[in-house]
Amino acid sequence: MKRKLIAAVGATAMVAGLTACGSDGDSAGGDDTLTIWAMDGSAPDAWAKELNKAFEAKHKGVQVEIKVQHWNGIQEKITTALSEDSPPDVLELGNTQTSGYAATGGLAELTDMKGKLGYDSWNEGMVPSTELDGKLYSAPWYAASRVVVYDKKAFEKAGIKPPKTRDEWVDGLRQIEEKTDKQPIYLPGQFWYVFAGLLWDEGGTLAAKQGDTWKGTLSSPEAQKAMDFYKKLQSFSTAPKDTDEAKPQQSTDVVPKGKVASWIGLGWEAAGALDAIKKAGGEADFGYFPIPGKSADKPGSVFLGGSNLAVSERSPNKELAKDWLRMATSEKWMRKYAEATEGGLLPNRESAQIEPEADSFAAAMVETSKVGRLTPVTPGWANVETEPNPIKEYMTKVLKGTDPKKAGKEADEVIAERINKS
């Protein structure tokens, strides 16, 4: 599978082998030009050209221009653009960022377009990021989630198959530990996206709203249960307890060196690991399975990172922009999008999902599409993820022996302070 997918920072760094048409730039164009800001790798060239040709045929005299943007520094760039008189007409926004831009009044409201946009058919896990205070400000475009990547030879040597439940997962890791010389799982102590999924499976959440304010909820019994299981998984790993999956980068700095039987990652990470192993003269035979759930009837919950499309409130071509957004996110064009990305990204509705190749990363990821979840949808959530991230610090403290409730209360105080900032 080609490298494509978002690497969530709150879900925000896109790495892809696909290129959108146009080039990086700030100008929004004249009244006869509809300007789209899409992130590097998000709009496959062939898909974008076909879509824009169809749109221009419908709207005679209008030209669509896609300007490729880069994730580094994009939040400041978008904030500035939305405050100007001629912003881009349509923007791609990280799904954890969208509510913040909506709260500033920079995005056009789309609530009256729910029917035209196919709101009721959208992936339920993607919907919350498109709204704020009951009003719609964007449409989901694509998403992706993490799955377990495993060394088929190591699993075969241990005599195990991909697990369907948490208990089977732990038992399999024990078998690998006993029967192979490989690390059963590489799981750094601050991989909070994985922890979030375990927490959701326990019925908990990272933060909850009380009246008009938010509070952290890591001191809850649900969080303690989630950390108990995370701690059990982490006991099979030699990964540091005080770093995340990017320090060192697991896919290119750890896995290619061998001795890792399994790890949890995104599609671009799996592709990156394969490339790195090949360049080093090795050969990898990876398999993929969803993070197991508490029971076999459904996989474990996952963080569903991705992007939305929104219209600038100050767009000089607002109605045209709304129609382009409607067209781009429709079932027809989302299916074409899924085909163009070879199933490496989840389209905004199940009916647009193509059948992925058997035993591929995409196949495992599609299984998780119905159990995808998001971080709390509120403008203040971005403050929580700012380093030092209190969720990461909470995890490290618990893994190093601090009482979970005590560590949770300390994290909750920081979360509450940050999330309630305007």
Query: What residue segments make up the domains of the chain, in order of their start?
Result: 6-145+304-373, 147-302+381-419
- Which among 101, 89, 114, 94 has a CA at the least distance from the CA of 31? 89
Return the pLDDT at 36. Answer: 98
CATH H superfamily, domain 6-145+304-373: Periplasmic binding protein-like II (3.40.190.10)
Q: Which of 104-118, 137-151, 336-350, 405-419 has the lowest mean pLDDT?
A: 336-350
Q: Which amino acid, 210? A: Q
The model's pLDDT over 351-378, given as tens digits with 9 standing for 90+, comes to 999 999 999 999 999 999 889 999 999 9
Same fold, 6-145+304-373 and 147-302+381-419: yes
Residue 13 has pLDDT above 60, yes or no: no
Pairing relationship of beta strands 207-210 and 213-216 according to DSSP bridges = antiparallel
Helix (H, G, I), strand (E, B) or coil at 223: helix
**Is a pLDDT exceeding 80 seen at residue 218?**
yes
Amino acid at 93: L
pLDDT attached to residue 19: 29
Side chain identity at residue 22, one-letter code: G
Does residue 30 have a pLDDT over 70?
no
Query: Dihedral, CA atoms, 151, 155, 157, 158, nearest 10 degrees?
Result: 140
- DSSP designation for 3: S
Q: Using the 8-state DSSP alphabet, how is residue 356 labeled?
A: P
pTM summary value: 0.87
How far is the C-alpha of 43 from the C-alpha of 45, rounded, in Å?
Answer: 6
Class of domain 147-302+381-419: alpha beta
Is the Cβ–Cβ distance between 362 and 145 less than 8 Å? no
Query: Cα-atom radius of gyration of the chain, to the nearest Å?
Result: 22
Distance CA 248, CA 12 (A): 18
- Mean pLDDT calculated for residue range 119-125: 95
* pLDDT on residue 132: 93
Minimum mean pLDDT among 83-87, 288-292, 418-422: which range?
418-422
CB neighbours of residue 397 within 10 Å: 21
